[in-house]
Structure 1
Amino acid sequence: MAQGTGAQRPRWVLGLAALAAVALVAVGALVVTRLVGDDGPRRGGPTAATGTPGPAATPSPTPGPTAPPGAGITGPLNLLLVGVDTRVSVPGWEPHGDAVLVVHVPKGLDRAYLFSLPRDLLVDIPAFPRAGYRGGRTKLTHAMSYGSRVPGKPKQPSAAQGYELLRSTVSGYTGLRIDAGAVLTFNGFDKLVDQLGGVDLYVDQRVVSLHRRPDGRHREPAPGGGGYVGPQMVYEKGERHLTGWQALDYARQRYITGGDYARQRHQQQLVKALVTKILDEDLARQPERVQQVVDALGDTLVYAGGPRIVDVAYALGGLSPDRFVLVGLPGEGVGKGSAYRGEQLKPTGRKFLTELRAGRADAYLAAHPELRVKG
């Protein structure tokens, strides 16, 4: 596949940057635009119940130089990864949560479960006085934008503040206490994948890109709007090696068979491919290499709260790729007739969250193998 120049930065939503966060927060390089934690993953001592939302425990100091990186980090951990559309070229544009993924790592740090929540999932968003939001029932994607509003500064929305409301919303819906999270935009994603030498994954269906030409350039908007014109990049079914822009473009497409749920599946498969590459190269257990990747991204990385990047990377570096379980939660539209209101999870999807909190995810997936996504 030909590589593009990547010189033009598009305005379109780039929820897919969250994929990098999942792979890197979960197992290694941790390259994110913002990593915002509730004081970070729990460290040492007793751990709180997996399914009990509430304030996170205060982390103990980072182990001394005689201890290996991440020696005091234990599970369970719940990580929230959010891809946002910031459209920095539009002053005052409020970020929307366009890709919402959750990673659950049980106590022992020997396996992980990754699942996505539909961006249009109908949820109860709690009141958030800091942003002047009174609360309501609407689509999950809006929690980020409503929470990002800074009173008195209409043209300076805060993605970090928006994350706080989204985190509370996801925690309330899933019953999981969120220990740390990443909010990401376009910047750095393709550079990250290229920094890792590209990624190998199985393309499970033919995907035609709406946004990219075969050479990587962006397609031109159609005259009068309503789409794009020009040659289209095509991802044929089979084993593929993708560069940064290709990986991002492939996993972004949703006007395909299966719609947004197929896109969620492809996002998760890309995460698994990145995880496998990082672990196969033992990147997560090489603090110097982790720091090199982080430094290469420069201003695209802001890390706040919790243990050091290399500590989390090292602590989760022993995770085997075959213990990284992808879970697809089935959903359906909500509304009457043509009045579409959003999405809701089907009973089997909602029950998975209950069993995950109770520590019975493996047994539930064994009884419902259709929920497992092939990576």
Structure 2
Amino acid sequence: MARSAKRRAPLWARLTAVFGGVLMVTSGVVLVGGSALISKYTGAVDADGSLIGDPAEGAPKAASADIKGPINILMAGIDPRDDKTAPLSDSIIVAHIPASMDQVYLFSIPRDLYVDIPAFTKTGFGGGKSKINAAMSYGSSVGNGKHDVKQGFQLLAKTVEQLTGIKTFEAGTIINFGGFKKIVEAMGGVTMTVDMTVKSEHLKPNGKGRDRRPECADNTCAHPYIGEQKVYKTGTYHMKAWEALDYVRQRYGLPNGDYDRQRHQQQFIKAMAKQAMSKDVVTNPSKLLKILDAAGDSLTFDGNGHSVIDWGLALKGLDTDSMVSIKLGGGGLYEGSKYLGEKLQDNSDQFFEAVKNDKIQEFLLAHPEFVNKNS
């Protein structure tokens, strides 16, 4: 389907698209807006631009009534990169919506999880063991030294499917962290509860970048920064966009490292969903359009042939307040003294089985320790 980049839809249609996008926030799909449809409100994803798979060219598009639970949605957060840099998925989150279509469960896959990454014929990758955040990199090469994050996402999806036993993802999204900041700015910031003191590795209290040690000018140091740091103390605050993004990206110095960061990112999704569905946003057409326009090319969404409007209508029964954040514990995996990456706790496979069979609620009743109490 060709995109119409010049012709803008009438206001009512654009508002419907935005409202659909805001409804999608409640599922944790895209934190407001986000899809290939954002590139000028076409309302659909091209068949040859699929993230999840490769539907036949010209395949018919289904209506929102055909979107039925249970649903699994894969989200990947990446740093802004040009097409000559292989992408790494710094954040990997799955949203599970049960058959009842009234609940959302969020769980994170550790970025350093040591897994089997399957073969991928498009790049000639033969498969092998590595940290899961490298899957996008192994699947992204399109020749001539260039990389396509959408193609890389296909291998990430296959890797997560193999890990969890989920047969397929009904939708997927890639979130560019830089553009994400613009979306939060358009929303006027976000109110979040900080559950532990967090020191920023990257920023000063005024939001400017911290100074670098002179010997680290070549970017080879693991921790190159020195001087004063932005500190996020426990409590509830209305954060500016740069504060929220900085907070949820921190992992160094936290008691449980990346596992604490995963929890904070899930808290962020829930906070954004709640704010996006507030009267301050959904009754303000100007703000809604500003949010959608802020997304630009920073969010890429594939709904397997369904538009954001379709998804918004299908998920209108979701309750942002009942979003459940899941914690998957784990620890370091070593080969002798060599650190390979992370491994999940032994009973994680039981949780994945519950996801696959749409039995998460029953599983959590028997294993309440999997619920993030602070989310």
Instruction: Report the AA paired with residue 230 of structure 1.
Output: G
Distance 1:287 1:189, change over 3 A: same
Deviation track 1:157-202 (CA, whole Å, cap 9, x = no partner) reads 1111100111111111111111111112233111111211211111
Tell me the residue number matched to 2:103.
111
Deviation track 1:183-236 (CA, whole Å, cap 9, x = no partner) reads 122331111112112111110000010111111111122211141123211100
Distance 1:197 1:244, change over 3 A: same
Distance 2:298 2:289 in 1: 14
| 225, 234, 246: which one aligns with 1:237 | 234
Over the aligned positions, Cα root-mean-square deviation in angstroms equals 3.1
Offset at residue 292 of structure 1 (A): 4.5
Tell me the residue number matched to 1:267.
265
SS of the counterpart of 1:129?
coil
Distance 1:171 1:142, change over 3 A: same
TM-score, length of structure 1 as denominator length: 0.79
| 142, 156, 159: which one aligns with 2:149 | 159
Q: Which runs of 5+ in 2 are unaligned?
A: 1-23, 39-43
- Contact kept, 8 Å, 2:139 with 2:154, in 1: the verdict is yes
Distance 1:301 1:116, change over 3 A: closer
Distance 1:37 1:128, change over 3 A: farther
SS of the counterpart of 1:128?
coil
Tell me the residue number matched to 1:169.
159
- Contact kept, 8 Å, 1:38 with 1:55, in 2: the verdict is no
Instruction: Report whether the alignment pairs 1:143 with 2:140.
Output: no
Q: Which moved more, 1:252-261 or 1:293-302?
A: 293-302
Tell me the residue number matched to 2:29.
26
Tell me the residue number matched to 1:100.
92
- For residues 1-375 of structure 1, the aligned pairs below 5 Å read 26=29, 29-31=32-34, 61=61, 63=63, 70-88=64-82, 92-151=84-143, 153-154=144-145, 156-176=146-166, 177-225=168-216, 226=221, 227-255=224-252, 256-281=254-279, 290-304=288-302, 306-373=305-372, 374-375=374-375
Deviation track 1:345-375 (CA, whole Å, cap 9, x = no partner) reads 1122221111122222112112221211121
Offset at residue 26 of structure 1 (A): 3.3
- Contact kept, 8 Å, 2:36 with 2:299, in 1: the verdict is yes
Q: How many residues align?
A: 332
SS of the counterpart of 2:324?
strand
Q: Which runs of 5+ in 1 are unaligned?
A: 1-20, 40-52, 64-69
Distance 1:85 1:301, change over 3 A: closer
Distance 1:315 1:235 in 2: 37
Distance 1:330 1:147 in 2: 27
